[in-house]
Structure 1
């Protein structure tokens, strides 16, 4: 199980926090963000100022009660009304602006991380890297990092940092008041300390400090496991949700295999992990709640007990006692901020650790571009690869120093045993495979057809035009593409909304992917098992149309397939043959001409491998 990063000290955590938080306040929205933050700070200062005024009101009000001064009593009732009203207005706008800042910050961070996650195929590379050695250090469930963790991070960062600031300002504002009001406490010293007496100036302040230090130390000792438990809870919840999503995505395959029992077992295991960790977290929170409740209740009477000797001796009046009690409460609240917010701090720390891991992985993706250098697409008139070496995530070499070329008019069929690297070659030519080196040139007008095409949920016209906007194409063009792809039954369903990836059969999905190509008419097409689910007659018809379309556009086609029925539609074969055992790579590319036919005539399809 992945463990959260463990910063060695508070300074390391502060660096993590700054790395995540500062980009927003230095972004294009920095002046709005900084202005709102300044307004929240000023409102916090205003709230503390009002608390100081209310603390002074305690002394005057309770002295009036003790002296039975009705005039001053009613004056102070009126004064309290104004003080309370001003404090309420400040509190409301402080809450509102804090929430708005959290909202805007989350919007910016979500946009920022979505952009980085989707840029340069980082989402694909991160998912691919999960299956390589050392993947336990990679971030799990990027969807949760962006959706849930960013929300938690922005809300906890603003609320907790403002809480710390408010606690410090309150402490500075009330510690002087409490020091002045508490006076000195004379403590007789025992004989073994020399006898006499010890005058403790501002003894109420020292009592508050001692009380809160002991409470904070005990709280940290009890609640320390919560950082790890919260980190693991978020990860386990995401794993449970992710597996349910996979069951939904592969519902047909699971239903056909009768895999409900296995999936239920897997879901039960994941949910058991969720509940087991949650129970451990709950037990720790229970222990912390026991102590926090005791600490909070004791704080109600503790200052009265400490100040009682001076009150009963006549040194202070009731008003001063209540003012001392109020000031002590403010100082104690400030000093015990850690005690009151430890659970929130644990969640904040765990969330920050998770986002730091995600940020580090994205930064690594930003730095580590693919070793395959692709020339500008508009500058290539043909498909060409030079000195191309391809490997697998585990380090195994598939090809070394291969040179490949597909000229206009070429029709190339790639053959090879399973595991020989045909799909890896396809991904390398597409520029998304990170375990490759060499130079690849790809024409701009190129489309790729993967083994498992993707169709967004929604209107059929959007699934057909993806990733372009369906508005670029007329209904006639869309219907013609469906008809050419042998899907005339869908021509009247362009505006129907559905989960097309689940709704259509395997053969229909492949035909819909081919319909995209026939709609957009690219000059170059690279297809990976694009017709494996079709019958031979449909495959022949569609390949004839596909080859004719790319040739009319002045391009060519490269097909990966196992079936021999595609031979008649191609002129050149690239066969991946096993190398000798002592060779550095597992396979080499052998080029051979295929029998010339009307569908596959033309082109050279040159290739060589070192």
Structure 2
């Protein structure tokens, strides 16, 4: 199963999950609309601060290279102003994100409870349905993950796209072109830092996609095994087996479920080891690659120390933005797994017989 496929490994369709999500985010209520506007405004403001911090790098290190004490003090106060602004924006972003996540979770939970309340409870939910094991856990934990992660991921993606577009221009203008002479032929490469960051980021993304290709299925299987183990353990809560043979059967089933849980955790461990090889290697190499690309022009006198630090900082910023998938692959996989299980719970509820005594016109809750 691919990370971005429409169905999960068990054939469940995510349309039910998306319908409940659209009902909240596209409701048009002033609170939700205002929250969306605030989140986007904070992203844009943070990008502006990041741009001026990058420019500050150039001015500060140029002043350091000139040994200009007055300019260094000026840049110190500029940094303090930018830092205070960035701190305030970060705090505002946390409040807005968590408010959106809390309200979305409330809306989805109330909608699922409303659907469930209209069904007959004379017989238990079919526990052979994937996602129907411990439905209260699906309602609590998986709904939480499925509504927490998308807000953070979408805002991070928006910020990454805008950051990449903004700092591409910085790399192009500050880095300029470089002349190389392969095999005796003089070749001038325009915007070589832009080409460098694109090539490096493409390599890192390809490596993460390769090393992390099994992450989604492993994460989903782990959650499935955990749910099956909890469901098997439910029989021990206040229920004494009729015979020793029945008790032995229960314990054997629990042992098999436990071994499945441990196997899934072992698989997850090795998958994370593989992904860490890429992510930590990228963390170490990205700034060094940036400096090595700038060294030829600095040594030739075509770049000042301030321009080197500005270009290197812009390179790392763009590389981090372009490698959004590398940084968020595990969380995307965890979200996909939880969203699949919420969709499976909705499908299991839909297959339950209707409660004829329930009101046919029961209204579903709107987001508050």
TM-score by length of 2: 0.88
Q: Residue 118 of structure 2 aligns with which residue?
A: 119
Q: Residue 272 of structure 1 aligns with which residue?
A: 259
What are the Cα deviations for residues 258-280 of structure 1, in whole angstroms up to 9, with x where unaligned? 45544333222211110111110
Report how far residue 173 of structure 1 moved: 1.6
**1:4–1:231 contact (8 Å) kept in structure 2:** no
Q: Which has the higher helix share?
A: 2
**1:240–1:271 contact (8 Å) kept in structure 2:** yes
Give the distance between the partners of 1:93 and 1:13, measured in 2 at CA.
35
Matches within 5 A, 1:394-543: none
Q: Residue 231 of structure 1 aligns with which residue?
A: 220
**2:290–2:312 contact (8 Å) kept in structure 1:** yes
Give the distance between the partners of 1:182 and 1:322, measured in 2 at CA.
11
Matches within 5 A, 1:233-248: 233-248=222-237
Matches within 5 A, 1:539-554: none
Task: Report how many aligned residue pairs link the two structures.
Answer: 354
The 3 A distance-change label for structure 1 pair 126 and 4 is farther
Q: Residue 204 of structure 1 aligns with which residue?
A: 193
Q: Residue 54 of structure 2 aligns with which residue?
A: 55
Greater CA deviation, 208-217 or 30-39?
30-39
Instruction: Please report the RMSD computed on the Cα atoms of aligned residues, expressed in angstroms.
Output: 2.8
The 3 A distance-change label for structure 1 pair 17 and 295 is farther
What are the Cα deviations for residues 213-255 of structure 1, in whole angstroms up to 9, with x where unaligned? 11111101111111011111111111212222221041xx32x
**1:178–1:204 contact (8 Å) kept in structure 2:** yes
Q: Residue 69 of structure 1 aligns with which residue?
A: 68
List gaps (5 residues or longer) in structure 1: 377-610
* Counterpart among 304, 307, 314 of residue 294 in structure 2: 307
Give the distance between the partners of 1:212 and 1:63, measured in 2 at CA.
29
The higher-RCO structure (CA 8 Å, 6+ apart) is 2
Q: Residue 90 of structure 1 aligns with which residue?
A: 89
**1:25–1:33 contact (8 Å) kept in structure 2:** yes
**2:17–2:342 contact (8 Å) kept in structure 1:** no
**1:16–1:352 contact (8 Å) kept in structure 2:** no
Q: Which has the higher strand share?
A: 1
Give the distance between the partners of 1:5 and 1:291, measured in 2 at CA.
21
What are the Cα deviations for residues 499-544 of structure 1, in whole angstroms up to 9, with x where unaligned? xxxxxxxxxxxxxxxxxxxxxxxxxxxxxxxxxxxxxxxxxxxxxx
Q: Residue 168 of structure 2 aligns with which residue?
A: 175
Q: Residue 257 of structure 1 aligns with which residue?
A: 243
Report how far residue 37 of structure 1 moved: 2.0
The 3 A distance-change label for structure 1 pair 8 and 210 is farther
**1:311–1:317 contact (8 Å) kept in structure 2:** yes
The 3 A distance-change label for structure 1 pair 106 and 136 is closer
Report how far residue 33 of structure 1 moved: 1.9
List gaps (5 residues or longer) in structure 2: 360-368
Give the distance between the partners of 1:241 and 1:8, measured in 2 at CA.
25
**1:4–1:350 contact (8 Å) kept in structure 2:** no
What are the Cα deviations for residues 175-230 of structure 1, in whole angstroms up to 9, with x where unaligned? 1111111100223243xxxx633322111111111111111111011111110111
The 3 A distance-change label for structure 1 pair 17 and 180 is farther
TM-score by length of 1: 0.54
Computing the radius of gyration from Cα coordinates, the structure with the larger value is: 1
Give the distance between the partners of 1:144 and 1:354, measured in 2 at CA.
10
The 3 A distance-change label for structure 1 pair 171 and 4 is closer
Report how far residue 167 of structure 1 moved: 0.6
